[in-house]
Amino acid sequence: MISILFFAQLQESMGQAQMEVPLEGKTVAEVKAWLEKEYPLLSLGQVMTAVNEEFARDQTIVNEGDQVAFIPPISGG
């Protein structure tokens, strides 16, 4: 299992801050694709991703027990 963390409007869209899913061995891109398929209103195209608190690319492999965080772009004024 891996832990997925959602921040800001992603957390609001999901109705939860964290979930556990059996996607170990997948790439970050595959995790994003699975989430968007399971939750069609979720859009992860412009988000930053961190694996175990380090920024990660779509090609990064997610291992058992990893924590994957999705962080949307921040805008302010």
What would the pLDDT profile of 23-36 be if each residue is shown by its tens digit? Answer: 999 999 999 999 99
Is the model's pLDDT at 62 over the cut of 80? yes
With residue 4 as reference, give the H or E element that holds it.
Answer: strand 2-6
Measured CA to CA in angstroms, residue 26 lies from 5, 22, 31, 40, 55 at distances of 16, 10, 7, 20, 16
pLDDT, tens digit, 9 for 90 and up, residues 2-17: 999 999 999 998 999 9
User: Which pLDDT score, from 0 to 100, does residue 45 have?
Assistant: 87
**Mean of pLDDT values over 46-60:** 97
Nearest to 47 by CA among 5, 76, 15, 17: 5
**Mean of pLDDT values over 70-75:** 86
Rounded CA separation 66/52 (Å): 6
Residue 49: helix, strand or coil by DSSP? strand
pTM for the predicted model, two decimal places: 0.91
